[in-house]
A and B are shown apart, each in its own frame.
Chain A
């Protein structure tokens, strides 16, 4: 009798483990829910619909940048140029606000510049086989340098975040639904469907899972990687526009704090940095978890240093849990 109960419990444990491995979203949503409950207990009455709107609004740019990391990490890479590209996009758009072409022209220039940066990165990674870490790091220096040069040239004309971007980044419908979802939902659908239903998405997984097998089965990795890094750079530029609207500032270092958090969001969301495993839905939940966690630590009155320490510890713990679960199969 007791043996049967015991074996049953073991069965349950392995069932849990399988659940954790195959559907990481379930435990992640659980973690998010626990955090929300804890914040409600810590400050009764804080969890309201407008609060959820605030959390969503703050999570959107982080989730988009986390998407850049997710896509590149699926192929075993990483994109360290997202922050400087995002800042550059927001800044360049803002400098065109007083020009005859208007900010839309600036936005077009920023997006083209971002795509160009991504194209060069893709050539470096795909054709010349430079380590993505180095290639994107170098690209972040290049983009930052050009953004600084641009800043000196436009110092007279002045800059300001266009009202439309402020509306997009900061305003909410009925005080609940942030307008940035207008950008975010189409992007999310594109990435989710793209990863699951299109050949391009499957190629990303294939290259990350086993690059040699992918090459031997006829995948032209370099073309996939170029397309990937262009996509990642354009996504980063869009995130930069949202961030500049959200914070109502435009500077060449605006998005810097997002760089490491975006990697953290992807890792917490269950994407493996070794490639071949993960997805964007996890990253979105990861971004939400990071934002709620920040809110919780603020509510608890913990100062910024403690917040950083807790942040780091949680990343290690969650990543270790993933590694344990996935390596024991």
Chain B
């Protein structure tokens, strides 16, 4: 009798609150980012739309790398070859595009994306078929892909089609909406939303949260794992393309993206044990890390302390996270 009015009172709040609770971590990150932006404007009055565009271009490669890492971490693995795959795809793109027509550039982008998927497929197949731990296989493959990148190009160089460079430069609609941010959102949404709504997306989460249970429910574990690695390869290729687009050349030496992507994934609320988190959190985490760096420059704090801050934030956040989990499991 008393339950009936409760059900009847289901308003918008009742759907919003559970949603907010589920995404508390990401919402907290977004709130923190907003506070950081306001703070930046306060300490540096000249921070304007063009600075925002610079920020968006600067974070694009790492944001895509973090997305790549997040996919494979969700499936319960880890990929330490992301930086090398980015270097390889970036030099292949820059080498093929140099001196070619704009239309040819479109073909190159397609080729590079397919190449990225193949690299990821090889990583995944090796992990599944040799049964060697992910971390060892991808560590070894990071040597292989970096070597391939050096074979393609011994020194930084090459070129990029103008449309590719323009794709990340400037803004759309308003000065305050950087084009590269739109590119990031569109690219990730186009690839991930259909997948996350499909069987494959569910399977990725399933094998990440409990491999054995997923297997017993009939999830093709090996196949799903290989697909997750292929997706990681695809996003790494996108990150490599964004490197070429923002610099106009290809550099065969891997940047610090592999380890930074692991850090961003953890800060973004994805559990390293797999199966928990999303792709939005890591992207926000990358922007937050970059903003902290910018703010420290504005406050004229020695930029090297930014490294220290990054490490301390990483540790602090993870400690709070595991502490909360310990309390939850005790309760």
Contacts and interface: CB of A to CB of B under 8 A. Distances in A.
Interface of A: 78, 80, 124, 128-131, 133-135, 137-142, 144-146, 148-149, 151-152, 260, 263-264, 267, 273-274, 303-309, 311-313, 315-316, 319-320, 322-324, 327
A134 B143 CA distance: 21
A191 B263 CA distance: 32
B312 A138 contact: yes
Contacts, number: 146
Q: Is the interface of B mostly helix, strand, loop or mixed?
A: helix
Contact of A149 (B78, B137, B305): B305
B143 A139 contact: no
B310 interface: yes
Contacts of A313: 140, 144
B214 interface: no
Which 8 residue pairs are nearest across A and B when measured between Cβ atoms?
A: A145-B307, A308-B147, A312-B143, A141-B311, A148-B304, A145-B308, A305-B150, A142-B311
B150 A304 contact: yes
Contacts of B147: 304-309, 311-312
Interface residues on B, range: 35 or more
Contact of A152 (B136, B259, B302): B302
A66 to B, nearest CB: 14
B191 interface: no
Nearest to A307: B147
B143 A263 contact: no
Given A128-B319, A137-B262, A316 B272 contact: no
B46 interface: no
B319 to A, nearest CB: 5
A68 to B, nearest CB: 16
A165 B132 CA distance: 39
Contacts of B150: 303-305, 308
A142 B151 contact: no
B236 interface: no
Contacts of A142: 307-308, 311-312
Contacts of A305: 146-151, 154
25 contacts: A129-B326, A130-B319, A131-B266, A134-B262, A134-B315, A134-B318, A137-B262, A138-B311, A138-B314, A144-B307, A145-B305, A145-B311, A264-B139, A267-B136, A273-B135, A304-B150, A305-B150, A309-B144, A311-B140, A312-B140, A312-B147, A313-B140, A315-B143, A316-B130, A323-B130
B311 A140 contact: yes
B107 interface: no
